[in-house]
Each structure stands twice: as C-alpha cells, then as structure tokens.
Amino acid sequence: MFKNTFQSGFLSILYSLGTKPLQIWDKSSTEDGQVKRVNDDLIQSAVIEIVGQNIAQNFITCPADPQKTLAITLPFFVMIVKNLDSLFSFEVQILDDKKTKRRFRCSNFQTITRVKPYMCSIPLRLEEGWNVLQINLSDFCRKAYGSAFVEVLRVQIHANCRIRRVYCLE
C-alpha cells in the first residue's frame, strides 16, 4: 500500500479523529463483540473501541485486502491504546532481510517470551488508562531471529481496547 509512498519520519495508519479512521482496515467481530467509534471520557475525544469475549474473533486488520501489504519501512511501531482491564493482544507481521515473514504478537495474557521460527510471542503489561506502546521492530527482529527488519506487512489489533492512533516512525 505504501511501497511507492515517500516514507520519512512519521506514517499514520489509524487516527481515530479522521473522517474515516478505519478506511484501510478490515473489521471482524462476532455477535458478542463490536468495533465502533466511541467518545472516551478520560481524553474527551473519539476513539476506536474493539471489544468482545473471544479476542481471536474480534479484531481489526490492516490492510483490509488480504492480498496487499503495507510495505512500511519505518522501524518503530507505535500505538496509543487504552487498557480496558481485559484480555488484549495485537500483532505486527514483518518481512526480514532473509525474505521471511515473521509475526510479533504482544498480549497481556502471555507470561513468557516465546520465539518460534515464524512468530515471537511477547508478554505485555499495560498501565491503567491510556498507554503509548512503542516497539523497535528492527531491534526485535535482530534479537529474536538474527536478521534485519525490511518492512511492516500487516497489523492486527484484537479486542479488548480503545485506540487513539497507530503509526510508524523512523
């Protein structure tokens, strides 16, 4: 999606205040879950809320088209997210210099880091209220797989959270 876009500094893929914040995202929710824009009392602003009993089936994913990739070369992944005191996870799929697709999954129900050939599971601890999560994908890729980060392919954010913004940085 962004392969032919000049990428320098900052590239936003979700901003809750935009006119169509989920325009490039696909939504998936079950009968017990939902993805919607709500007003957050704490920050007095519109945010995207993803909630549901089954976190595996209630999520948003970018890009919406499963045949496309983001092709974002900026190595820092940042998400401004609110802790809803429930199960929550997200994953970032990347391509490394060995031309291998890898996923980094962060979740608040994981207790230890697990590195498998194509996926690295990382425990996540959220503070009460709003959190700024920043992941150095280049560093993670080097430490987990001994390879170099090339680009972000996909992002998937599962229930239960509120999202203000998702972006990549240099």
**Tens of pLDDT, residues 88-131:** 999 999 999 999 999 999 999 999 999 999 999 999 999 999 99
Q: Look at residue 8 in the predicted model and tell me its pLDDT.
A: 75
Asked if residues 105 and 113 have their Cβ atoms less than 8 Å apart, the reply is: no
CA angle 70, 73, 75 (to 5 degrees): 115
Non-local (6+) Cβ contacts of 100 within 8 A are: 118, 145, 147
Burial 20-57 (b: 16+ CB within 10 A, else e): ebbebbebbbeeebebeeeebeeeeeebbbbbbeebee
Residue at 128: amino acid letter: E
Q: Is the predicted pLDDT of residue 3 greater than 80, yes or no?
A: no
132: number of Cβ within 10 Å: 11
Asked if residues 64 and 1 have their Cβ atoms less than 8 Å apart, the reply is: no
pLDDT in tens, 14-67: 999 988 999 999 999 888 899 999 999 999 999 999 999 998 899 999 999 999
3-state secondary structure of 156: strand
Which residue has tokens 């696909």?
A: 26
Integer angstrom CA distances of residue 144 from 71, 122, 147, 150: 21, 11, 8, 15
> Where residue 1 falls among pLDDT bands split at 50, 70, 90?
confident
Q: Look at residue 4 in the predicted model and tell me its pLDDT.
A: 66
Asked if residues 105 and 114 have their Cβ atoms less than 8 Å apart, the reply is: no
